[in-house]
Amino acid sequence: MLIINPKRINESIEVRPDWYNYYAGYSHTFTQSIITSCKLNNDSVILDPWNGGGTTTLMASIEGIRSIGIDLNPAMKVIAMAKQSTVEDIESIRQKIKKIRSNIKVEHVKNDPLTIWLDDESALLIRKIEKVILCGRYYNNTQEKVDSLQPYQCLMYTALFNTVRQFLKPFIPSNPTWIKRPKSADKKLTLYWPELRSLYVSNLSKMFNSIDMVRHDRKCPLAQINIGSSTNLQLGTESVDLVLTSPPYCTRIDYGVATMPELSIIATNGKSEIKHIRRSLMGTTTVPKSIDTIPSNLGKECQTFLRNVYKHPSKASQTYYFKNLLQYFKSLQLSLEQIYRVIKPNGRFICVVQDSYYKDVHCNLPKIIGQMSQNHGFIIEDVVEFESRQNMANLNQKSKLYRAKNTAYETVIVFKKD
């Protein structure tokens, strides 16, 4: 199997470059290389249980292979579905653009999360565009809304995500996975309709150019992209030929906050629903109150790491950070169990994972995942390391109090199920 560096900085196939830039993930080039090397047939199914922005599902569609993408974050389903759009969708969007006018009537959304950063009238301007995307329909909950969307609507939403993020730049610090809040109401942003509409249409036009670069094989059905948990895959036993994925980083990335602008646009039930989504996402920094013991099925490497975190003298190591990491690894273990269940005999599980640090304690996540996966019955076929100059651990400026800048490694692990 040909395994190339998975990092996006090594991208040679620039597929849809003007689309949503999500930190986590591997390159289109890497994904295509893996899919091609696996020599799958027309009946094969590829699964990504942490589908994120949809690199796996996009490249599977381009290669003419069916795929399933799972992600708990509804915003990521929208983005992944947008990438499934084709040139045939452009005309539908152009017709929608004509309907985006300032005189559209919209009602104030109760507890509209967009008002975290925008004044009330500016939030309403965003809702005018959203009303056109939704064809004037209203939904009782976010999943119902997202599941109803066609790829062209998801593309329009993704352009809106990008547009809002461009306006929110004053609140985005050096760590791209975090977003600040204004300190007072007078610091909230005021948007103006001509500028908003112009930027939105410009972003859509850039995306049209990217759509024209890639044409899907229409003989292959669109990818099946679902909102769901990797810990409870709603798939049949031994139903998948290849799992290609990258689990959430074992760092202080709060995936709910990282996509809060996007969730604020699509959520139907205000700030409380976003809080619920944030708690449900694996890797979140919102943790339960209780402290559990370390389960033996997490493997020796994981147990050692968690004990070292618990013993660390820094503030909150025994409470907040220990609980956060324990929750992460318990969810990871359940996910690997599910992955083993759904893969067919002789199927492969290819995992891209990065090591990290808690203060000065090294988290050898590749080894942890290797041990957990072997405990479930996987055989390790290959392990390839690549130096990662850009890594999440070094984005945290406070980490320098405990160690000098460290080199992290991106590791590709190839597992096989007997």
- Segment 17-36, tens digit of pLDDT: 556 666 557 888 999 999 99
| Residue 267 placed within a domain | yes
Nearest-angstrom CA–CA distance, 26 and 376: 25
**What is the percentage of the chain residues whose pLDDT exceeds 90?**
66
Give the H or E element holding residue 386: strand 378-388
* CATH number reported for the structural domain that contains residue 47 in this entry: 3.40.50.150
| Residue 195 placed within a domain | yes
pLDDT tens readout for residues 379-400: 999 999 998 765 555 455 555 5
Mean pLDDT of 8-24: 57
pLDDT band for position 108 (cuts 50, 70, 90): confident
**Mean predicted lDDT score pLDDT of the chain:** 88
pLDDT tens readout for residues 221-242: 679 999 999 999 999 999 999 9
SS3 content of the chain, % helix, strand, coil (to 5): 45, 15, 40
| Residue 3 placed within a domain | no
Number of domains in the chain: 1
3-state SS string for 365-416: HHHHHHHHHHHHCEEEEEEEEEEECCCHHHHCHHHHHCCCCCCEEEEEEEEE
Nearest-angstrom CA–CA distance, 71 and 226: 7
| Residue 63 placed within a domain | yes
| Residue 1 placed within a domain | no
Parent domain of 348 = 8-417
| Residue 274 placed within a domain | yes
Who wins on pLDDT, 393 or 170? 170
pLDDT at 173 (0 to 100):
86
| Residue 81 placed within a domain | yes
pLDDT at 213 (0 to 100):
55
Which range, 22-31, 56-65, 130-139, 212-221, has the best average confidence (pLDDT)? Answer: 130-139
| Residue 2 placed within a domain | no
